[in-house]
Chain A
């Protein structure tokens, strides 16, 4: 099987929200970023994948749980335990748990193995969660907001760990985050969820190469053909227009500035821009 995750016709309904994923495939060997607003459905999707939510319709296929490592947002061991306790417990949970590897990570991350989890700083706790997820040598990492609340230095350190993990080309990462700049560094594929639906699923390179922001003045806006506009935002002095197929648009409107796009721009313009 070349796929790490395969979802078909997934529907999970709540009174005010429905997650509806018709078709989603994540191939092995890729880092996939899941982006979207708060409440867009990212965590619900991850919970469905891990069976934390059960009553859904549709089909989900993914690797064996033995091969999956998880880091979830604010879900972990009771905080009166310490990192050493985690090793004692996990040793009996995963057949592939490697104590040496785990303690290596603790040393590398400067984590005191006898300190209660509740006494660790946010960054150290996150690193402990990642060490725990990696120490049973998973093939798929599912990470929900693994870098939120962390300073840029720790974030970069954690992203390096993920890149290390991806040295094995059969390994896969699914990572949800608000910090879209992290994904620009490491991801291969971006999945954008809004109100429970996937509104974009493309490779990172395609997004960064093809999408762009055309900037023009108010009076110039009417010269832009509507079919070229995905969405736009009025600013005080100019208009910012989200466009696709940057090269063609550049030829079509040679007098306008077209900036490269960041994932954050894309998210804001897709969600908040007018159509």
Chain B
């Protein structure tokens, strides 16, 4: 499986210098002092990672890799692990840059940086947990389109619940008080469920 993770990282290796460049550009763009700008590279790294699926499909990599020992099992596992690794590295990179700039400009607010970093990581992991089973099932093109549909659908449902059931204040209170723990547990469960679904889909998929 280590080999398969390396393969994904080698594919996006070429994009890594672009990512650093993008991170620097966004730092300069950050005139409004909005911490969000520092963490945009995390979202972009997810997009770069998703492009690895297109390269795989173009060269029918999956069929080839299934012929390796424990092929099917490891392909799915490797995609989850490499995506988490990529998000972690880009988060660390963005975090270090934002601290550096904060120190240089005497404008360092660690608490708000931490919150922003955590929020970005959680959002990326949610997106990945949603999209990976979709890509394994429908391929990378259809998977991406379906993700957009799902995100719009979820936003609609949440706003509907919010409007008619008025749970928002109650939920916001809970989230404000226990956000780190709630989201951490939630995301771990979410990733595990997503992985199990992907594994099941991939086990029966013919190429």
Residues of A within 8 A of B (CB): 47, 50-55, 64-66, 68, 70, 72, 74-81, 85, 88-94, 142
Contact = CB atoms under 8 A, between A and B. Distances in A.
A66 B67 CA distance: 9
Interface in B59-105: 59-61, 63-64, 66-72
A51 B66 contact: yes
B2 A55 contact: no
Nearest to A53: B206
B176 interface: no
Contacts of A77: 7, 59, 61, 64
Contacts of B6: 88-89, 92
Contacts of B7: 77-78, 81, 85, 89
B15 to A, nearest CB: 10
Contacts of B4: 89, 93
Contact of B67 (A65, A80, A90, A91): A65
Contacts of A90: 3
Contacts of A53: 206-207
28 contacts: A47-B207, A50-B67, A51-B66, A52-B66, A53-B207, A54-B205, A54-B206, A65-B67, A65-B68, A70-B64, A70-B67, A72-B60, A74-B60, A75-B63, A77-B7, A77-B61, A78-B7, A78-B55, A78-B58, A80-B55, A81-B11, A85-B10, A89-B3, A89-B6, A89-B7, A89-B10, A92-B1, A94-B69
Nearest to B64: A75
Contacts of A88: 3, 6, 10
A49 to B, nearest CB: 9
B207 A52 contact: yes
B206 A93 contact: no
Interface of B: 1-4, 6-7, 10-11, 14, 52, 55-56, 58-61, 63-64, 66-72, 203-207
B11 A51 contact: no
7 interchain residue pairs of minimum CB distance: A92-B3, A78-B55, A93-B3, A75-B60, A92-B2, A75-B64, A50-B67
A75 B59 CA distance: 6
B56 to A, nearest CB: 6
Nearest to B60: A75
Contacts of B71: 51, 65
Contacts of A70: 64, 67
B73 to A, nearest CB: 11
B61 A76 contact: yes
Contacts of A64: 69
A85 B7 CA distance: 8
B11 A80 contact: yes
B203 A54 contact: yes
Contacts of B63: 47, 52, 72, 75
Among A50, A64, A79, A91, chain B packs the most CB atoms within 10 A around the CB of A50
A89 B2 CA distance: 8
A91 B6 CA distance: 11
Nearest to B69: A65
A32 B68 CA distance: 22
Nearest to B203: A54
Contact of A76 (B3, B14, B59, B207): B59
A79 to B, nearest CB: 5
B163 to A, nearest CB: 45
Nearest to B13: A85
Contacts of A52: 63, 66-67, 206-207
B64 to A, nearest CB: 4
Nearest to A93: B3
